Chain A
């Protein structure tokens, strides 16, 4: 049923760990009191009546970080097989990885210079 060893346990544990919050929430639903008064379900804003909602257009300051993150996350994913097999690949693989990382370091330096890594 499973081509790779040990992953049946992953599926099983996924079900068990997903059952934990479900059970907790259902128990809470059964045990907890339910009162639906108007004040209680008001959005919290330091005791005042909330002014406007939060679902508005806002400036996501971090989207540049998200873009740079994608680049480097993909890089690490590519480097994992390299690291695991490194003992069999030797010097050539080291130089290749060096070139690969150098290209990305140039990208990082560019983003840095351009101010993409500034929080402003």
Chain B
């Protein structure tokens, strides 16, 4: 496995060449990947919103947005600007502080989870040791925000929506964590970098989806439920609950919920591709292609080339999953709340426990195939 492109190292080399201390160079480096990832996340959301509207339109044989920019690509931007200048309405009977804190608590953990999303060997904000567990921990904060905004609105629809959202979140969190656990067991590490490295020995064939087919399906279902995507969008079921916990929200606070849910969708798609679909890996390992062409992997040109392929592959895989999620939205009916809870507790939870134990047993019997 090659070291890959290490921008931080090069950056701090340059700064140290200018006479700065390594600590100062590190401090100057720190905000750069964060801002880049934040911008990437926001652009990812704009693209996803546009895709959602266009694909929804296509699924219903409409045209969809078409006037703002070519093919309506500026429409999400226009929506965002509109929401930015909308009046902020806090209902007279609501609790103002909790009402404002709710959407903030929903958004911040979702953005923070991007810390561990890798786009290449060294292309992530920080390779923290707890890795994917950080995401699981952060995703538990979200239900608090939902419950808070549902309760603070002092609206019956909001209250029911908030309670449903919290129940749904906690029901699907355990199968989610257990299916991640099986992946972690195969890579012997929580770090997302190690998880992807472990899958890229033989390209397409070594992706986790072949060794964890059950885990992959469980994870995908749970992710859809955590994002409140359509087969599981009970918390905001518009026919029953108006807009669930968002009912009283307008303007920027509504936009924060909206942004949060789409950032979460893109993040989840990225994590599915990281955990199960080989992350930044090309179906044929780049190292093999380089050796067929007689190139050294460590030359700068090849490194930049590898990194670009890695970023494109990550985004491509993630957007295929986003596309799938949008299609699912228009092809599956909504489940009832009892079906939702039954699916989580009586089906996914036992199966994910069995999946975990089966992975452990297989790892004992075939240590090489399951990560040594």
Contact = CB atoms under 8 A, between A and B. Distances in A.
B243 to A, nearest CB: 9
Contacts of A106: none
Given A12-B31, A32-B85, A87-B371, A20 B111 contact: yes
Contacts of A65: 167, 170-171, 341, 345
Interface string A36-59: 000011111110001001110010
B188 A87 contact: yes
A98 B126 contact: no
A25 to B, nearest CB: 6
B115 A69 contact: no
A8 B89 CA distance: 37
B209 interface: no
A43 B154 contact: yes
Contacts of B127: 6
Contacts of B341: 65, 117, 119
B178 interface: yes
Given A32-B88, A80-B133, A9 B115 contact: yes
A13 interface: yes
A62 B367 CA distance: 41
B185 A86 contact: yes
Contact of A76 (B92, B114, B159, B178): B178
Contacts of B156: 45, 54
Interface residues of A, number: 67
Chain A interface helix/strand/loop/mixed: helix
Interface string B87-108: 1111111100000100110011
B21 to A, nearest CB: 14
A6 B93 CA distance: 44
A101 B357 contact: yes
B353 A25 contact: no
A36 B2 CA distance: 62
A93 to B, nearest CB: 8
Nearest to B126: A9
A84 B35 CA distance: 31
Contacts of A119: 337-338, 341-342
Given A80-B184, A83-B185, A9 B125 contact: yes
Contact of A12 (B30, B93, B188): B30
A45 to B, nearest CB: 7
A21 B155 CA distance: 24
Given A8-B30, A84-B188, A91 B364 contact: yes
Nearest to A41: B92
Q: Which 4 A-B pairs have the closest CB atoms?
A: A9-B126, A28-B252, A17-B111, A62-B167
Interface of A: 4-10, 12-14, 16-18, 20-22, 24-25, 27-29, 31-35, 40-46, 50, 53-55, 58, 60-62, 65-66, 68-69, 72-73, 76, 79-80, 83-87, 90-91, 94, 97-98, 101, 105, 108, 112, 117-119
Interface of B: 30-31, 34-35, 38, 84-94, 100, 103-104, 107-108, 111-112, 114-115, 125-129, 133-134, 140, 151, 153-159, 163, 166-167, 170-171, 173-174, 177-178, 181-182, 184-185, 188-190, 242, 247-248, 251-253, 255-256, 337-338, 341-342, 345-346, 349-350, 353, 356-357, 360-361, 363-364, 367, 371-372
Given A83-B356, A117-B342, 8 more contacts: A12-B31, A16-B31, A29-B88, A43-B92, A62-B167, A73-B174, A86-B188, A86-B363
